[in-house]
Amino acid sequence: MTDIVSTPTALDITAMWCRHHAHLVPNAVHLPLPASQHVSCGLCGSKQALQVRGHLRFGADRWVNDGLVTHCGACGRFSLPETYLQTLNLLPHETLTALDARLWSSAPTFLNIEPTTRCNFNCWYCVGRHMKQADIRVEDFAAVLGNFPSLQAIALVGEGEPLLHKGFFDMANMARERGIRVTMISNGSAFSQSVIQKLCEAQIAYVSISIDSIDPATFASSRLDGDLNRIWDGIEALAVPRCAWLPLSPHRLKRHLVHAHTGRNPRHRDRSKATRG
Ligand code: SF4
């Protein structure tokens, strides 16, 4: 939907955003946010917009740090709400002249945290295989959360398999108890029933599974030591439990997980062609 509302209530800054940060576009497929965090788009009227932050320069040298930028998932445009612009008390000559997506901040709301560099796979391209193999200490993780009280979300990711960290759920629960939304990326190899149960109990908001390819030969050529059939089993097992907090049905969850990372519908895969390791 790309309608233009009869009277836009926001300044369209899409061209400027794309000129400076074409690669930085919120992706609702990979990181869906709850509807409660959506706002109205002042350009098309959709209720699928999100607020992101950017440093804004008005006129020659007036910078507004952490400015409120709206990105609409329906029309795809970036804008500044008029109501927000009014709060800045801009002078007539102070038009928007520059935009710096918030790549730095003294009060970050999102962090990627790497629980471990260890992994049970040995992908040929993985930088983590050439790093010191170590886990973050749970007390250091707690210190990170303490140092950034502004955090709203974290992603447990990195050059290792997060679920190999024995304190993974201690860390996830610690973050959630502080009101921080927890997401993670896994290689999908460790989804035993007990791990799945703990993932549900920890209310991990988003589990992203990186599998490189759904073609067994391609998978085997990059995910050395990996077993694609085991990954499929894990995904299917993860899709079964329907937790009360989960907005997706098990069936939709499975499709969502796989489609998001491969662009292909798992219903179309032919497991008879897969080679069991
Ligand atoms: S699964 Fe990920 S972390 Fe593990 S070796 Fe492969 S690329 Fe590295």
What DSSP line would sit under 24-51, residue for residue? ----TTTS---GGG-B--TTT--S-EEE
Tell me what pLDDT residue 211 has: 87
| Ligand 1, atom 6, residue with closest C-alpha | 123
- Ligand 1 centroid to residue 249 C-alpha, Å: 29
Domain ranges of the chain: 10-101, 110-273
Tell me what pLDDT residue 139 has: 96
Taking the CA of residue 189 as reference, the ligand 1 atom at the shortest distance is 1
Tell me what pLDDT residue 257 has: 52
- Ligand 1 centroid to residue 133 C-alpha, Å: 13
Distances (CA, A) of 53 to 48, 201, 216, 254: 17, 31, 41, 32
Counting as low any pLDDT under 50, the low residues of the chain are: 1, 244, 250, 259-263, 265-277
Q: Take residue 200 and report the two structure tokens written for it.
A: 């549900």
| Ligand 1, atom 8, residue with closest C-alpha | 126
β-pairing, 206-209 with 181-186?
Answer: parallel
- Ligand 1 centroid to residue 159 C-alpha, Å: 6
Tell me what pLDDT residue 46 has: 92
Nearest to 85 by CA among 29, 12, 36: 12
CATH of 110-273, one of 3.10.20.30, 3.20.20.70, 3.40.720.10, 3.90.1720.10: 3.20.20.70
Tell me what pLDDT residue 53 has: 84
Taking the CA of residue 125 as reference, the ligand 1 atom at the shortest distance is 7
